[in-house]
Amino acid sequence: MSPRTPAQFEKLRTRRREQILKVAAEIFIQKGYHAANVSDVAQKAGVSQGTIYHYFPDKENLFLAVYESWEIRNLQSELRDALENAATPTEQLGLLAQMVAKRMEQAKDILPAYTEFWSHIHRNKAIKIGFQNMFKDMRGILARIIRNGIDKNEFVNTEPMTMAAILIAVFDGLILQWIADPKQVKWENIADTLTQVILTGLSANK
């Protein structure tokens, strides 16, 4: 058998990393962030703990990678593709609210572990940087839409980055409310109401 090529090694490495992330997500959902251990992930994935640490230096980075896999690969890429097909900034914000609410519903199993993870932001530099990058990307998407709406006289003149941060905070607050009382936060109803409130506040044609 001929030795593997660099491309084959990279493909194998990528496949193994994705396998670990898939299993880790299942463990974090089942046990929660704090109760889950790297050994749990290694056992279910059928690999050694050393293999896990080869890809991820600690549990914090493993969970961050799990969340980034969902957040970046799924949500942000879907948003960018979909927003290109919206005709106006007003339509883009409405579409964005609908998509985020839909993703929250789909990801609700991992949201409790995600909120457990928040407490580590100020303790771990790598986690802090990871969250900074994720929020920066999301604020950038939102701010560009808002700035475009201002330029086209669809929205009132406001500070786009500040407004973007407020919109993100709305969903983070809803996550906490959902965890406390799931029956009172129905993600499928969030999008229409949130869109109406946001667009009424931003509209330049009041």
What local confidence, expressed as pLDDT, does residue 19 receive? 92
Question: Within the chain, which residues score under 70 in pLDDT?
Answer: 1-4, 70-79, 81-82, 206
Estimate to the nearest angstrom the gap between the alpha carbon of 161 and the chain centroid.
18
What local confidence, expressed as pLDDT, does residue 78 receive? 67
Is residue 25 within 8 Å of residue 109, measured between CB atoms? no
What local confidence, expressed as pLDDT, does residue 1 receive? 52
pTM (2 d.p.): 0.75
Tens of pLDDT, residue by residue over 36-94, are 999 999 999 999 999 999 999 999 889 888 877 766 556 666 667 667 777 888 888 88
What local confidence, expressed as pLDDT, does residue 82 receive? 65
Q: Map out the domains of the chain with their CATH numbers.
A: 1-56 (1.10.10.60), 59-202 (1.10.357.10)
What local confidence, expressed as pLDDT, does residue 85 receive? 75
Estimate to the nearest angstrom the gap between the alpha carbon of 117 and the chain centroid.
13
